Structure 1
Amino acid sequence: MSMANAPLPPRHGIVPSLIGLYQRLADDDNHTIARPGFASQKVHFAIVLRRDGSLSAFRSVQQQNARGKLVPRQMLLFDSGSRSGTAIQPNFLWDNTGYVLGADDKGKAKRAGMLFDAFKAFHREVAETTDDESLAAVVRFLDSWQPEAAVKIENWDSIVGKNLVFQIEGETAYVHQSPRLIEYWSQRSQDTSEHSVTAPSLVDGRVKPIARLHPPIKGVAGAGTTGAAIVSFNQVSFESYGKKQSFNSPLSETEAFQYTTALNYLLADSSRRVQIGDATMLFWSDSPSTEAEDLAFELFAESPTPKEPTSDDLVLIDRIKHFLQAARDGTLADQISDANAGFYVLGLSPNKSRLSVRFWWNDSVEVWANRLAVHVDDLRIAGLSDNRFPVVRSLASQTVRDPKETPPELAGAITRSILQGAKYPDELWRSVVRRCRVDRNVTPIRAAILKACLNRSVRLRQPERSTDTSEIGVARAGQRFVDYSLNQEMPSNAYQIGRLLGALDLVHLASTDNRIKESAAARMLSVAVATPASVIPRLVKLYQLHRTNLPEDPAEARQRKVRTRRTFERSVADIFLQIQRFPSNLSDREQALALLGFYQQRQHFFRLQEPDPEAGSA
């Protein structure tokens, strides 16, 4: 029966959703995914044998990736199951050099010899019941091979420890691709299942042969190279009712194979995974189209524009611009076909030999696209390019001095906020406030973070209000949505104080014809936004001195490339009218508003393009 006609489990949990992905891929002729008893593995070299079993050569099967680097080739190979601890368990017709040649780089020659003996005995056993000339040649090679000869192999240093397969000289196919051996292994895997422990499966409740161990999951950043497990019980304290290992969490052998194979398939596809802090984020959909996954990768993966972009790079840049514009217009979901299909996002983090689920989200493609559109709109602010989408890693790195010190859990929390449409983590905006004060600088991306966090916090406290962040309406506690650009009527005392600091900064710079790198207001920004009453009176006195150095004549102002004294004085006076008082201290949230006022006042000045310096306000 086709997997498409088989009853599918409800796709709300992680395992059922991955099983659904496996079944869809298995029925799609455009995808190659392992069947039960087989697994996709990374292979570096092939041992080329003559028909009599003598060694002909070692041939690299590695291939170049997009960056020109040699990487192992993914091959569908026979799967003997996961190895537990130090147990010796050879694979069929492939393995690492320790098993295949009895030599590795671990410095334990005796154990390597034991691995080789087990590998040789296993293949002898299979050859006795299987009539295959290629397998017979492999067995003859193993019988004649001496492990101590491995070090004499040309380029041994690049071969040792790697995975090897077999090939007969003159043949294009590998030995493991023999139809007779594939049929044998499929039957062997089925016979093994018939002798397994049976119990109701947690996926659908049906009684099935239960997997004692689940296949390893490979490719999660930071996890062991041999793989890790989500479901694993190896201590007595973890057991219940006398059930050992994965019998505590019963999944059938087929289900365990399907969900882990689907995970490994996603992890092996660089366009379906993104690193978010210490979590490896995977995403997939129920749709045959890959538009939603492509969009997720393009907007979440950190791929800087190359200095000399190729035609493919330019196409990608145009696509991102198109998607961002659609997000701003609220039409992002309309740009993706099959919007009602399910969309899934899974974040996995390493935890020694196990994996932790950092985040899990699933809904429709349309809901995901709309959540992403809201996130894009929340981050929009004057001064930050509309064609630039700050990825999660970039947002989280704004909280620390060195990006390498970014808290890994923060990136995961930001991702959850985006997916769930929830409030951004408080740690994000509070840490950005601290960085702005320490660095005495409010960059466009930091301002975007502050705006997004404040707006979303206000909006979620008022569910009856529109989710359109461009709306200007009075929020609770006297707060309003922070606009895309300067709002001169913003009813926030802290925001207006920030505007004043921005104006005083501009006056000082203009009074020196922009010859100084930092104004007095910028130098005192950290203290000014925290305790305005202690600093601003001093800055106002300095302003009285600085303004006397500003040109009064428009012609002189044009020559000096600054604005006239009257323009600045009018701007400062207008801001003073909006300020109610200079408090002794501001709360963290008020400091965020003050920093936004400082940033937007300066951006407003820089964006004014009138040829006449007398026109407009600063």
Structure 2
Amino acid sequence: MTPLAALAQAHGRRRMPPFGYSTEKIGFLIALNPDGSVAGLPHDLRQPQGRTLAGRPFVVPQALKRTSGIAPNFLWDKSAYVLGVTAATEAKRVKRLPDEHKAFVTRHLEGLADIPDEGLQALVAFLRAWSPDDFTRLGWPEAMKDQNIVFALEHERLNDVCVHDREAARAVWARLQADAQAEVAVCPISGTRERVARLHPAIKGVWGGQTSGVSLVSYNKEAFESYGHAQGDNAQISEQAAFAYTGMLNAFLAPDSRNRVQLGDASTVFWADAADPADAEQAEGVFFAMIDPVNLPHEETKVGEILERMREGRPLAEVAPALSEGVRFFVLGLAPNAARVVVRFWLEDDFGHLAAHFQRYHQETALEPPPRPAHPPLWRVLQETAVQGKRDNIPNTLAGAFLRALLTGGAYPHPLLTTLLLRIRADGTINAVRVGLLKALVIRNLGCTEAPVALDPDNTNKGYLLGRLFAVYEVIQGDALGWSLNATIKDKFYASASAQPRKVFSLLDRGSVAHLSKIGKRSPGRRVNLEKAIAAILNPMSPNNDPFPASLSAEQQALFALGYYHQRAVLRPPKETAAADPSDDSAPAAADEKEPTP
């Protein structure tokens, strides 16, 4: 199934606005008397949203798609169109302000003048009498500027009935839509002959996209058109189908949606389809918890229990039998590209298969000691690949390729291994998230069987052993000189030690002699234990007569980091002396520690 067809199908199975209507955030309501006079000050409908106020959702006649032209909406719009006032100071916005207000007034005076309805005639009378100067004269609030505005008769306002809700208004809106000339063709989504949508509604909420909205299907130049067709006639998607897929996608992309996560530059939406809507809703909750377990609401205890049992390796058929079969799951990743949107990835599969692949990912990244939190959200994992830990620096195609591998069980993106090794060399951060990813990479992509979860004293892989040895040398230095050094051997030598050990380890071995002597004077037992640790690591390498090779492969460098992490955790000094240790994984490694928001 294509993304458009799947979205249109989801729209038909959920409580969504009917055809021709959309949910918009309305900031203010103007109450009118039947003669068109204003009944007091406008009513502020905004509600707290974080530290700001946001408009209240209203189902209104569908917003027109605006590019650079002037196009007033029907029975509602922002203050520039409705009242002719704006808070903007840009010369271009100020210049077109009278034309926007005139277009709104003209559309309603011409379209509603002969409609015998009390509410519509009150709006007509208001628009005839209104002047933008009245805004200041009446003392209306500045906060009203650039907000969306609706109208209601004063005696109907308390019943939440607006002018656009009246039966006469709905009839006029239906006639206005039917008046539009459009080609009739077989819609590839519905399979029936319907009117073709020339322009598809805008898609809003894609991170990095234009605030006015972007398009997924668009033809706006002759170079993209064929056989004399113009605009959407080239795609021949019906108006109903275009309305359904864009409406559903906008609902999924809403800031408060539980069907979206931000992964790098990809705004990722997901949804389930099942015979029982409750099963679909639970599957979506479990998937959200897979991707972002940190932000799981406390009330979703059932979802948390399912996820925890899945992490223990128990099959979904045992944990949640209703979700293992008969639940179809969809994942769509979108990235901005000027006024259009790029499909980064599209996945469709049974939820049981996705859950099994997630369990495999969890097993491959399992590590002791685990990261903090033990199960970091996926956006946090991807930030470990970015310069300075900023999501803006995550490689564009990496997020989509990584999520596809996680959900399909395929190979992880090949650049991921190189990217992680480069990040470790550049910033020296060797934490559980990065090491867990390296472990997963060498297991799945390289077929490595020598990547243990916890410290493995019997592992004879050269990279793993050298990583352990490097950790011992670092602990020796820290015990001898203290952990508040400006630069440890890890800061100075890790990059070269993990890639070209022969150049570094002889120097580190000589330096450890003096450090061990200093430790012995203070704590003879500690010195003996550290010397035993060195001997236990070197003994498996001594038969080769060359314990320090000239270079290590990428796989061995990944195991070097794993060995370092395991050995470092075992020899980690007490917390009071490790507080200044830069390799302590208890400290945040990323710059963006909050969940990305669109």
Provide TM-score, normalisation by structure 1.
Answer: 0.83
- Post-superposition Cα deviations, 1:554-604, rounded to whole Å, max 9, x if no partner, equal xx85xxxx9543333332222112224311122233222212111111223
Q: Answer yes or no: is 1:426 the counterpart of 2:408.
A: no
Distance 1:302 1:112 in 2: 47
Alignment match of 1:348 (pick from 334, 340, 357): 334
Greater mean deviation of Cα atoms: 526-535 or 200-209 = 200-209
Aligned to 2:12: 23
In the alignment, which residue of structure 1 is the partner of 2:469?
500
User: In structure 2, what residue type is equivalent to 1:275?
Assistant: Q
Q: Report the alpha carbon displacement of residue 155 of structure 1 after superposing the two structures with TM.
A: 5.4
Unpaired runs of 5+ residues, structure 2, are 575-598
User: Does 2:271 align with 1:284?
Assistant: yes
- Work out the CA distance in 1 between the residues paired with 2:176 and 2:387: 57
Change (3 A) 1:371 1:386: farther
1:16-55 to 2 correspondences below 5 Å: 16-25=5-14, 31=15, 33-55=16-38
Which SS does the other structure have where 1:402 is aligned?
Answer: helix
Does the C-alpha gap of structure 1 residues 137 and 599 become closer, same or farther in structure 2, counting only changes over 3 Å?
same
Cα deviation, residue 109, structure 1:
5.2
Structure 2 residue aligned with 1:294: 285
> Which residue of 225, 236, 239 maps to 2:225?
239
RMSD: 2.9
1 CA distance for matches of 2:498 and 2:197? 61
Question: Match of 2:54?
Answer: 71
Counterparts of 1:19 and 1:314, CA distance in 2:
32
Structure 2 match to 1:471: none
Distance 1:115 1:334, change over 3 A: farther
| Aligned counterparts, 1:5-24, within 5 A | 12-24=1-13
Match for residue 560 of structure 2 among 569, 589, 594: 594
Measured after TM superposition, the shift of residue 38 of structure 1 is 1.1
Letter aligned with residue 227 of structure 2: Y
In the alignment, which residue of structure 2 is the partner of 1:100? 82
Distance 1:509 1:128, change over 3 A: closer
For 1:513 and 1:320, the matched residues in 2 are separated by 42
Distance apart, 1:133 and its partner CA: 0.3
Q: 1:439 to 1:349 in 2, by over 3 A?
A: closer
Instruction: Tell me, yes or no, if the aligned pair for 1:349 and 1:355 is still in contact at 8 Å.
Output: yes
Aligned with 2:42: secondary structure? strand
Mapped to 1, the partners of 2:234 and 2:62 lie a distance apart of: 23
Q: Secondary structure at the match of 2:446?
A: helix
1:226 match: secondary structure: coil
Deviation, structure 1 residue 489: 2.4
Partners of 2:182 and 2:250 lie apart in 1 by: 24
* AA aligned opposite 1:69: T
* CA–CA distance in structure 2, aligned partners of residues 515 and 419 of structure 1: 43
SS of 1:70's equivalent in the other structure is strand
Aligned partner of 2:173 among 175, 185, 196? 185
Aligned to 1:440: 428
Label 1:60 to 1:333 Cα distance change in 2 as closer, same or farther (>3 A).
farther
Residue number among 111, 131, 135 corresponding to 1:126 in the alignment: 111
Give yes or no for contact 2:309–2:319 (8 Å, CA) kept in 1.
Answer: no
CA distance in 1, matches of 2:533, 2:187: 71
Q: Secondary structure at the match of 1:55?
A: coil
User: Aligned pair 1:584/2:550, yes or no?
Assistant: yes
Alpha-carbon distance in structure 2 between the residues aligned to 1:333 and 1:238 = 48
Amino acid at match of 2:66: R
**Residue 496 of structure 2 is aligned with which of 527, 531, 535?**
527
Contact 1:493/1:578, CA 8 A, preserved across alignment = no
Counterpart mapping for 1:513-552 below 5 A: 519-520=488-489, 523-551=492-520
- How many residues are matched? 555
Deviation at 1:239, TM superposition (A): 0.7
Partner deviation per Cα, 1:230-267 (whole Å, 9 max, x = no partner): 00110111111111111111101111111111111212
Q: Determine which of 567, 570, 576 is the counterpart of 2:529.
A: 567
Moved over 6 A (4+): none
**Alpha-carbon spacing, 1:200–1:603, altered in 2? closer, same or farther (3 Å):** same
Q: TM-score, normalised by structure 2?
A: 0.85
Q: Deviations over 1:212-235 (max 9, x none)?
A: 111111121222222111001101
Contact 2:282 2:303 in 1 (8 A): no
Change (3 A) 1:410 1:138: same
Secondary structure at 2:253's aligned position in 1? helix
Letter in 2 for 1:95: D
Q: How does 1:355-370 map to 2 (within 5 A)?
A: 355-370=341-356
Contact 2:402 2:413 in 1 (8 A): yes
Deviations 1:308-359 (A, max 9, x none): xxxx965569954762442232435644433321111111111111111111
Question: Distance between the aligned counterparts of 1:500 and 1:229, measured in 2?
Answer: 55
Q: Select the residue among 303, 306, 315 that pairs with 1:331.
A: 315
Aligned partners of 2:372 and 2:273: how far apart in 1?
31
Question: How far 1:152 moved relative to its partner?
Answer: 4.2
- SS of the residue 1:147 aligns to: coil
Alignment of structure 1 residues 465-480 onto 2, 5 Å? 479-480=448-449
Alpha-carbon offset, residue 89 of structure 1: 2.8
1:218 and 2:204 correspond:
yes
Q: Which has the higher contact order (CA 8 A, sep 6+)?
A: 2
Can you list the C-alpha shifts for 1:6-58, whole angstroms capped at 9, x where unaligned?
xxxxxx11011001101111xxxxx3x11111111121111111221112321
Secondary structure (helix, strand or coil) at the match of 2:412 reads coil
* Structure 1 position 166 matched with structure 2 position 151: yes
- Percent of aligned pairs with the same amino acid: 29
Could you tell me how far apart the structure 2 residues matched to 1:390 and 1:376 are?
11
Partner of 1:274: 261
Checking the alignment, whether the CA contact within 8 Å between 2:80 and 2:97 is kept in structure 1 is yes
Amino acid at match of 1:13: T
* 1:393 and 2:379 correspond: yes
Residues 80 and 450 of structure 1: CA distance in aligned 2, closer, same or farther (over 3 Å): closer
SS in 1 for 2:334: strand
CA-to-partner distance for each residue in 1:46-73, whole Å, 9 max, x for gaps?
A: 11112211123211111123x3631111
Q: Structure 2: how far apart are the matches of 1:423 and 1:95?
A: 49
Contact 2:293 2:375 (8 Å CA) reproduced: no
Given the superposition, is the C-alpha separation of residues 487 and 318 from structure 1 closer, same or farther in structure 2, using an over 3 Å criterion?
farther
| One-letter amino acid of the counterpart of residue 49, structure 1 | L
Amino acid at match of 2:568: R
Q: Secondary structure at the match of 2:331?
A: strand
Aligned twin of 2:579: none
